[in-house]
Amino acid sequence: MKQNMQFSCIFAFLLCISVQNGFAATAAQSEGTLQTLIAQLLTNSPAKTDKVLQNTYQLNGNTPYWVNESGPGQKAHALISVLSSADEDGLDPLHYRLESIEKLWSSRAKEDLATLDLSLTLALGAYVTDMREGRSIKCLLDPKLFAAARDKETDISQIIVQALQAPDLVNYLQQQAPQHHGYQSLKKALSWYRKLAAQGGWKKIPAGKTIKPEMTDERLPLITRRLVLTHDLPAGSAAGNQYKEALVDGVKHFQARYNLDQDGVIGKLTLLP
């Protein structure tokens, strides 16, 4: 997880370096090659992170991975398309500094292109690290039960090489996400709940007395509509004020999904989710 902190540090450094005295645009720098400018950026980068980037670019002779003098290449566009849809995996695309990268995207100044190349590399590293290690703090639960949540060190240099050698970068990056059924189910659920929220979601059910089968309560129509939205009841289910068998079955189905006692009693715990 500490690599995420390092990426944030050097990202900020790179994106502001061209406006600070360490990397002001000068005639000499404008005449330099992209390789030379990348080497200068790496030399001036924060001590805690320069080894990772230096090793990565040394593998390529400090040649840019993502850009040339004409601008971003095909793989750069592919990377941005993946980062822009990171929210589909519960990640925040803004974490990868897309707004700052966009400011450099159209520039053809060599120092901007060099900074853009390093920024894209860092964005790739941060994204893959997040997909492999997660964005939350180190798991406090039993790692034997949550093996996919263990803290792992990601070899960014190796990731860069593998990514750029991949015939399909988008597919390669998609494969960095956990592939087990649990994760894929959560991803589908996230998408479904976001669509539901975009459609207005559901009204909050007021607190009140515990509702047991055959009781009457004015909140039951709201509860019925909520269970229809979450597919615990079939569409078109009657929404009356009496707690009848069909609604009881829907409540039990809801309770089972939330690992609650399946007793059909609508108390505080059942209303909480």
Domain boundaries, the chain: 2-178, 220-271
Q: Tell me: the pLDDT tens digits for 183-207?
A: 888 888 888 888 888 888 888 899 8
Tokens of 177: 């996400």
Q: Rank 11-25, 168-182, 207-221 by mean pLDDT and report only the highest.
A: 207-221
Q: How far apart are CA 117 and CA 162, in angstroms?
A: 17
Secondary structure class of 72 (helix, strand, coil): strand
Q: What percent of the chain shows pLDDT beyond 70?
A: 79
Q: Tell me: the pLDDT tens digits for 5-64?
A: 555 555 554 544 443 433 434 333 444 699 999 988 888 766 545 677 788 888 889 999
Q: How far apart are CA 107 and CA 67, in angstroms?
A: 11
| Confidence (pLDDT) at 9 | 52
DSSP state string for 219-262: THHHHHHHHHHTTSS-TT----SB--HHHHHHHHHHHHHTT---
